[in-house]
Amino acid sequence: MPKTKVLVVDDSALVRTMLASFINAQPDLECVGAASDPYVAREMIRNLNPDVLTLDIEMPRMDGIDFLEKLMRLRPMPVVMVSTLTERGADITLRALELGAIDFVAKPKIGVSQGLQEAAAEIIEKVRVASRARIGRRLMPAAGTAPAAAARGAAAGMGVAPATPPAARAPVSAVRHGTEKLVAIGASTGGTEAIRAILTRLPADFPAIVITQHMPPGFTRSFAERLDAQCRIRVKEAEHGERLVPGHAYIAPGGRHLRVDRSGANYVAVVDDSAPVNRHKPSVDVLFASVASRVGPNAIGVMLTGMGRDGADAMRTMRDAGAFNLAQDEASCVVYGMPREAVAAGAVHESVVLDGIAARLVEQLRSAGAVTNRV
């Protein structure tokens, strides 16, 4: 099999040398070039036709975000962001994912050489995943890239309502609390945009949602805040012990597991620092297993794009407990790994294109009387 061709773009000569060394040590990867800035990278892309790009954010002459936006418009390709800014500038990282980057790795702030050595396996894994990822159209306009009228027109063309600004949302007191339904979502690579495509389409009276997206510490709060600004439901990072109420989505904090428990008739969030499961923390298996145990037939599970099989076994446990489960279909996944494993485990009732998941959820819940508004 031909090797995957990787182009490294970074203004640090040390980083370029080390990343090239990591890549070239793999039997299936080859670093075909290393560029010090986007202008050099542009010429190398034309001449070398790489399969995957690793891209720094802070570079001379043109920053990585501007370059990424131009690249995805003119020559879409798999990109893994590798930058120190991805750790302290979560908004910048999320913007890169909105623009089409597949994933990101944070370079250490100090001790770059040792830090990169420690992150080598993660970098290689994400480059491999990116090489197999689908680079398709953006399902919804990225925040700040299209005027509101265009966003409304795009939504109308898909037969769904556009996202409502926070000021127009129903107050919490007006949200229905007479339902015990709960939706649990699991996602990994490509999941931030898949989650956004679903949550921005949901009505304000939607049942409580719990979400595990594979993400390191420092990113999930910004992720939740960005979603909260775009959705009719409220979106927040889950806090230990808080009640899970309709009209809200709760995201597992990066580097912590999220579970669902009960306190009388109420669902509550349990956030803990226990060991990784399936190499992940937060883990979808942890969340889904708790939903199977505490929510049972009142749950709906959704498995979205991602590499690996985290969540597949626990989703089958959810189904055995009476839950109704959906998986994102292969054609709309960035990486069809976790949904495929869930289907193979017999955990999934239906596979649905990403654009249709929100409407399918509302349809299923309306039949149970848990939602009154339309999408």
- Percent of the chain exceeding pLDDT 70 equals 85
125 shares a domain with 158: no
Query: What's CA 168's distance to the chain center, in Å?
Result: 26
Look up 177 and say whether it is catalytic: no
pLDDT value of position 115? 85
- Whichever domain contains 29, its CATH number is 3.40.50.2300
pLDDT value of position 87? 59
Whether 90 has a pLDDT exceeding 50, the answer reads yes
What's the number of domains the chain is made of? Answer: 2
Q: Is residue 361 assigned to a domain?
A: yes
Q: Is residue 223 assigned to a domain?
A: yes
- Considering 214, 248, 257, 280, which one is annotated as catalytic? 214
pLDDT value of position 151? 36
220 shares a domain with 295: yes
Domain stops at, among 69, 101, 132: 132
Look up the pTM and report it: 0.86
128 shares a domain with 153: no
Q: Is residue 374 assigned to a domain?
A: no
Higher pLDDT, 375 or 68: 68
168 shares a domain with 114: no
349 shares a domain with 204: yes
7, β-bridge pairs:
33, 53
Q: Is residue 78 assigned to a domain?
A: yes
- Considering 36, 83, 131, 188, which one is annotated as catalytic? 188
Look up 51 and say whether it is catalytic: no
Mean pLDDT of 272-276: 96
176-234 tens-digit pLDDT: 333 489 999 999 999 999 999 999 999 999 999 999 999 988 899 999 999 999 999 99
Whether 306 has a pLDDT exceeding 90, the answer reads yes
Domain residues for the domain of 87 are 4-132
pLDDT value of position 61? 85
Domain stops at, among 76, 97, 132: 132
Nearby residues of 200 by Cβ (< 8 Å), 6 or more positions away: 140, 163, 227, 230, 231
Q: Is residue 143 assigned to a domain?
A: no
pLDDT value of position 172? 36
Mean pLDDT of 115-130: 94
Domain stops at, among 99, 132, 165: 132
314 shares a domain with 222: yes
Average pLDDT, the chain: 87
Q: Is residue 329 assigned to a domain?
A: yes
pLDDT value of position 86? 64
pLDDT value of position 83? 81
Whether 91 has a pLDDT exceeding 90, the answer reads no
187 shares a domain with 39: no
Mean pLDDT of 28-32: 98
Mean pLDDT of 316-345: 98
159 shares a domain with 124: no
Whether 111 has a pLDDT exceeding 60, the answer reads yes
pLDDT value of position 176? 37
Q: Is residue 140 assigned to a domain?
A: no
180 shares a domain with 125: no
pLDDT value of position 88? 64
375 pLDDT band, cuts 50/70/90, is low
Mean pLDDT of 39-43: 96
Look up 313 and say whether it is catalytic: no
Whether 371 has a pLDDT exceeding 80, the answer reads no
- Whichever domain contains 324, its CATH number is 3.40.50.180
Mean pLDDT of 344-351: 98
- Considering 310, 313, 332, 351, which one is annotated as catalytic? 310
177 shares a domain with 303: yes
164 shares a domain with 126: no
373 pLDDT band, cuts 50/70/90, is low
153 shares a domain with 127: no
128-165 tens-digit pLDDT: 999 999 986 444 443 333 333 333 333 333 333 344 44
Whether 11 has a pLDDT exceeding 70, the answer reads yes
